[in-house]
Amino acid sequence: MDADTIIEFAEIGAPDEHARSAAIELHGKLIKPAGSLGKLEELGVWIAACQGQSPPRPFTRPRVVVFAADHGISAKGVSAYPREVTGQLVGSLLTGGAAINVLAASAGASVRVVDIAVDTDAPATRSIGEFKVRRGSGSIDTEDALTDEEVRAAIRAGMKIADAEVDGGADLLVAGDLGIGNSTPASVLVAALTGSEPVAVVGRGSGIDDATWMRKAIAVRDGLRRARRVLADPILLVRTAGGADIAAIAGFLAQAAVRKTPVILDGLVAGAAALIAEELAPGARQWWVAGQRGGEPAHALLLDHLDLEPVLDLDIRLGEGTGAVAALPLLFMATRVLAEMSTHDQAGVAGPLTPPPTP
């Protein structure tokens, strides 16, 4: 096999256990009852382990990368919006008017958009089209989403983007998605990898009515039939029933773990890519935290499969990285608690009472 067709990830190590233990110990010395900050304490310990130091460093360059792509299945009437909306939303994102722009600015993150497979002749700007694989992915109910060459190009693109962001100073990453119809292939992948039936994974996505839901369920059923034939190979699976965006996000998430860079996972589409990434690079999930539990049934299934407990439960199902960015301020807080809060000794505050010895 040609070297250019081989997808290999370096072995992924676990976050630093010494830093984790030190962070747990430090939490026990701060001027508060042990465990009283709940999930914030767990997040701070995880961040310290990812950074390999306690107390952890405050984040200085959180970065959102939005992967934009169209999907052939959208022509089957599975979305509340027409396909051309993808390209229009890319334009809004580039001018700062999309939801992720607003939320990221509020949370202190910057945003990059990548045209990986939008159904246009050319990207809105040359800079976002460097890794474009094709114009839209195939209709997964009757054909493969990608060719073998395209799926590997998309995965490698995600890897290169993750490397470039980390090399550029990003210390926390979010993968966003943008594309009409993308929840349909994502639902197929979740059903395939969790052993679920179509009716268990099909949600309302963009706000679809009952008739559209039925068309979507049929599309997921047909895509799942094709996906199950290649279930043992994650690259064949995402080539058959995924799309260029999902393949690229999978490469991005796996490579972020290789680079020991923490990631906040977003909703269904990024989560489906995370399932593929964990198959490609076992252990990658240790470097991810789930930002929030979305409103799609498939999202709950994939979080359980990855054994990730979401930080928030806000019913956000927009994509773009919005659910992940909503959790970002809590990660800032969790980091600063360990870095800035006083210990009992520093503050001169008495610690908890020691129980008297048993007679």
| Tens digits of residue pLDDT in 138-166 | 999 999 999 999 999 999 999 999 999 99
Sign of torsion, CA 343 347 349 354? positive
Would you state the pLDDT for residue 5?
Answer: 63
Q: What are residue 136's phi and psi, to 5 degrees?
A: 70, 155
| Tens digits of residue pLDDT in 196-224 | 999 999 998 878 999 999 999 999 999 99
- Under CATH, which architecture does the 62-327 domain have? 3-Layer(aba) Sandwich (3.40)
User: Of the residues 150, 278, 296, 320, which is catalytic?
Assistant: 320
Would you state the pLDDT for residue 3?
Answer: 42
Mean pLDDT score, 86-99: 95
Would you state the pLDDT for residue 123?
Answer: 66
- Strand ranges of the sheet holding 172-178, from the earlier edge strand across to the other edge: 110-117, 62-69, 172-178, 263-265, 288-290
Mean pLDDT score, 289-308: 95
Would you state the pLDDT for residue 219?
Answer: 97
Q: What are residue 24's phi and psi, to 5 degrees?
A: -65, -45
Lowest mean pLDDT among 127-141, 152-166, 168-182, 341-355: 341-355
Lowest mean pLDDT among 223-237, 268-282, 343-357: 343-357
Q: What are residue 66's phi and psi, to 5 degrees?
A: -100, 120
Sign of torsion, CA 221 226 232 238? negative
Q: Say whether 320 is catalytic.
A: yes
Mean pLDDT score, 269-293: 97
Q: Which residues are within 8 A (CB) of 21 and not within 5 positions of it... i.e. 6 or more apart?
A: none
Q: Is the pLDDT of residue 356 over 70?
A: no
Would you state the pLDDT for residue 205?
Answer: 80
